[in-house]
Chain A
Amino acid sequence: MLGRALRWLMPHPFLTLLLAVVWLLLQNEISAGMAVFGVILGVLIPWGTAAWWPDTPHRFRLFKMIRYSLLVMWDIMVANVQVAWIVLTVPNAKLKPAWIVIPLDLLEPEAITLLAGTITLTPGTVSADLSDEGHSLLVHVLHTEDPDAVRDDIKSRYEARLKEIFS
């Protein structure tokens, strides 16, 4: 009974949490009043817009997601230095751009969106398109000697972790 009431009140609990944190960051101060108001907003906004978000992921592991975010941030910094080096030192004639196709094991749209975003944010790869039934992701690589290695790296480093987060 209580569980159903809570689910009716908060259809997206993580969105509620996120909205409350965003509200506190916007206010630039942490006080009890602001926290309560943030939670009120966090309940009202998902409740009012629930009609436009009918589906929720079955499971979502917050702590694994936080660890994943830290890993991605580290990768962004390392990859940025690598790509800056490519821009400055590799002449255009020697640049080897490539398309790679990543067969997806993920099924949830939220997970595929996160994977595509991660691929674009790590410089040197841009996710360009999804196949018409959503089983593969098309990725453009700026410079690589071995496209298959890039594909395997993305699958083992990011997709496997996302699979754990949403399983």
Chain B
Amino acid sequence: MSLEIIGTYATALFLLIGSGFALVGVLGLLKFNDSMTRLHAPTKVGTVGIGALLLASMTYSYVSGAPSMHELLIMAFLFVTAPISANFIAKVNLHQRACDTPPAPPRDDTWSTLKSPEAEGDIPSGNEGS
């Protein structure tokens, strides 16, 4: 077993793990039936799925003799941006009341997404007048 063969097998293994997790993420997206539980599926694909695929890419680049570290950067930027998009989708769900109403926070008045001028009666809602 030369190093090259081990590297090739490792690349294949990481590719399989990555695509397996991506598949499970897609299955979850199709299977669950409300928007908040569906949100959990893409966060999985974004972390271990993509992580394993990038690891495969790095292993392959070392085996083929042109080492590359760009994948670490891709992973870092994904880890920074993925929670933001998930948070935005959750906020949209909350704002549209597309999910169960969350319990009220213990110390403050309300959740910041639910706090709107319409709810407090400061300005009339635009839908009623038309």
Q: Find chain B residues with CB under 8 A from A130 CB.
A: 111-112
* A116 contacts B87, C-beta separation under 8 Å: yes
A41 close to B (CB within 8 Å): no
Chain B's interface: helix, strand, loop or mixed, by majority?
Answer: helix
* B91 contacts A128, C-beta separation under 8 Å: yes
Q: A25-B72, A80-B44, A97-B36 are in contact. Are A138 and B111 (CB under 8 A)?
A: yes
Contact of A77 among B28, B48, B68 (CB under 8 A): B48
Find the A residue at minimum CB distance from B75.
Answer: A73
A109 close to B (CB within 8 Å): no
* B111 contacts A131, C-beta separation under 8 Å: yes
Of B82, B83, B100, B108, most buried by chain A (CB within 10 Å of CB) is B83
* B86 contacts A120, C-beta separation under 8 Å: yes
**Chain B 77-98 residues near chain A, CB threshold 8 A:** 79-80, 82-83, 86-87, 90-91, 93-94
Write out, one digit per residue, whether chain A residues 72-84 have a CB within 8 A of any chain B CB (1) or not (0).
0000110010011
* B40 contacts A142, C-beta separation under 8 Å: yes
Find the B residue at minimum CB distance from A99.
Answer: B102
Q: Find chain A residues with CB under 8 A from B1 CB.
A: none
Q: A97-B37, A130-B111, A140-B36 are in contact. Are A25 and B73 (CB under 8 A)?
A: yes
A77 to B48, CA, bound (A): 7
Besides the known contacts A87-B31, A123-B47, 19 further A-B residue pairs in the complex with CB atoms under 8 A apart = A80-B47, A84-B21, A92-B32, A99-B100, A101-B106, A116-B83, A117-B79, A117-B80, A121-B79, A127-B87, A128-B93, A129-B102, A131-B107, A131-B112, A132-B112, A134-B108, A135-B107, A136-B107, A140-B36
Q: Would you mind naming 18 contact pairs between A and B with Cβ atoms under 8 Å apart? A: A84-B21, A87-B27, A87-B28, A87-B41, A88-B24, A88-B27, A97-B34, A99-B100, A99-B102, A99-B103, A126-B43, A126-B87, A127-B83, A128-B102, A131-B109, A132-B115, A133-B109, A138-B111
